[in-house]
Chains A and B, each alone.
Chain A
């Protein structure tokens, strides 16, 4: 296990190096001048040139990248071109919101997804099954911006049960929980649908396995058959889907964050790209990539607990 973690850590370093080069060069090649955007359309050429000089944008590509890298290695991700704020600080203001939202959405997704998947597997081809698969299809197909807007209109504007948007209260307070409900449902629905599909097919496979039949033949209680013999063994692909989804959610969710006015990493990233704020884009992409790798590592470790036959040593 320890070897796995160490190996992954070194892989992560190389991965981050590669990503930083890719991001840096693609931002460099992409059209759009950060200085012109900072100056705005009303600025004169002299204003733009002064800003370009000030940001070091007139230096050659490798010099810029080299300087970025040497600072980054020392833990300095630089300053935002636009706001002059340290990149790390800007990310850390947003990340807790993204994390909250990702966790809340995963809770919604896992509860709904696994229940729907289980029910439809155990009652294959019943009305339950049809409703659950229909839900899964709808969940995957409905676009977030539409679902979010409808939830806001129904639950916030008309019923006035929940706030329209924002995440300003701590998550452990009632207000904090209420703020999370609509965005978590909006975001969790698609993941729930994916988990439900995976849970259903995986359960159907395991439930027909010989050892399940043997367990039933031996008179094991149905509850134990489902929970211990079937679900646990069906969990591997489900955990994979959960891990992937959680990794994606940690990368920030641009549309949901926008619709619900949540100050998250996704919005930070998209705004930074629009403003050609290179250091900010770079910093947030590196964070997201690192998180993705860490979540995958966690998933790999969880595998070994679910299925002791899996070993990385």
Chain B
């Protein structure tokens, strides 16, 4: 017995030592980080590996701008491909990118002159043919593109000459340039698209080109040495899939990844406190709001909506977001075309006494209100805070949570009383926010509130069917104010777009719509 005991002990200790040895076998700090640290202050930046690893919380769905519509894919796609126009994140004006200039001979015709001498990463020349090919493919119903509706107003795309393309629309279409600056309107190489599946092997004109993709694991890009804007400083870009954000933060801390984005408000303090990490935050285009279901009788009562708005303290909610939210009543946010400062306080203010009074007078507390919530982003937090405040005013609110896919269905079908929605506003154009979400054309689909107001519809139409940008802006300001006057929705907050990088990463360009560009990034 004694002997056996000893054997066990030896075995146990041996096992433990082996595990410990395996664990201590070497440091996991990436080699480059060690070199960097030892050379800091001695050598110039040129010795540093110009590589960056980005942690994405999900994998890209695919790498074709025509066939995808999710944010991770968009982020990869906008490094590989380019659009004819881009919105300048500072001025919020739309500027030419692959386009050189444009003119509108009449209000249904857009003549776009293209930059010359640009080639795709496979050597195919970028020209009017490529633009026509891309847009025709995007529009073709047989393609079943997720964002075919971007070019829905387009009647035809015609090649005028090698570097001039003409777009004819069915009706005057105001947000055309915004649509053309959308990632999903990026121009693809026609030869590559015919030869291979761009979802797996993308070819564009952008600063980075595709190397390899292990789905669910990592996507690798390298610099495009022939990039028309000058080869980027970074040699290699890796998208690494890290589904758990707290794991991604740990990886950023240990240097396993160099860059994360979409920082959650409940972890932002931890990230800000990290020594080797730089946090980027700027007001963005996303908007998050409480949505009334207008097909329900109670929501058709303006006093009811007013009581709900008066009961919810949005200032307190935004404070809870640790700086990751902007407070404004306006549906069209500060970074979106069509915004005006006057709308910031243009809606029903927080007034708990008024709310209580309205609830009492009208007996709003007698029925249970079903608040449907998607179990992602900040929606749960939003719902819990709103529920507590509504209860204080005398409402009886029951929260029902749903997983995203089911939620999309249930809200499109109008199976709720109140819910919370968000809109990322990729194009940064107010028409592209108000039309899908509140125009009666889209009831049963993206207009989940089933809000229908002919006066509002007309204003939104006006913003869409004129190409005069000043007139468009005025129509949007009026439409926005109408939503506020009617308390058609209660804006909880406007988004703040965020990213956190290793502190030696310089030049990251973060767009107000949350997308980013690595073209000018260097590591020092």
Interface residues of A (CB under 8 A from B): 30-33, 36-48, 50-51, 53-54, 82-85, 90, 93-94, 111, 115, 118-119, 122, 149, 152-153, 155-157, 160-166, 168, 174, 177-178, 181, 222-223, 226, 258-261, 263, 267-268, 271, 274-276
Contact = CB atoms under 8 A, between A and B. Distances in A.
Nearest to B251: A164
A51 B436 contact: no
A276 B404 CA distance: 10
Nearest to B146: A39
A166 B218 CA distance: 10
Nearest to B64: A84
B149 A47 contact: yes
Contacts of A155: 23
Given A83-B62, A156-B254, A37 B404 contact: yes
A178 B28 contact: yes
Interface in B127-158: 141-149, 152
6 contacts: A42-B423, A50-B148, A115-B12, A156-B28, A223-B7, A263-B216
Contacts of A259: 244, 247
Contact of A36 (B197, B214, B409): B409
Interface string B1-16: 1011001100110010
A105 B93 CA distance: 55
Interface of B: 1, 3-4, 7-8, 11-12, 15, 19, 22-29, 58, 61-62, 67, 69-70, 141-149, 152, 197, 199-200, 214-218, 240-244, 246-248, 250-251, 253-254, 256, 403-406, 408-410, 412, 421, 423-424, 426, 436, 442, 444-446
Contact of B446 (A42, A111, A162, A166): A42
A73 to B, nearest CB: 26
B405 A276 contact: yes
Looking at chain A's contact residues, the main secondary structure is helix
Nearest to B253: A157
Contact of A181 (B12, B23, B29): B23
Given A160-B254, A168-B218, A263-B241, A47 B199 contact: no
Given A261-B244, A268-B216, A42 B199 contact: no
Contact of A263 (B197, B214, B442): B214
A267 B216 contact: yes
A274 B376 CA distance: 12
B256 A164 contact: yes
A164 B23 contact: no
A102 B403 CA distance: 29
Contacts of A50: 141, 143-145, 148
A68 to B, nearest CB: 20
A155 B250 CA distance: 11
Nearest to B67: A84
Contacts of B24: 161
Nearest to B20: A161
B8 A165 contact: no
Contacts of B403: 32, 274
A168 B29 CA distance: 15
Given A165-B242, A223-B7, A261-B242, A45 B408 contact: no
Contact of A47 (B11, B27, B145, B408): B145
Given A42-B423, A83-B62, A115-B8, A160 B27 contact: yes
Given A31-B409, A32-B409, A84 B199 contact: yes
Contacts of A51: 144, 146
A82 B61 contact: yes
Contacts of A263: 214-217, 241
Closest 9 CB pairs of A and B: A32-B405, A45-B445, A54-B144, A44-B149, A263-B216, A40-B69, A261-B242, A263-B217, A50-B144
B3 A41 contact: no
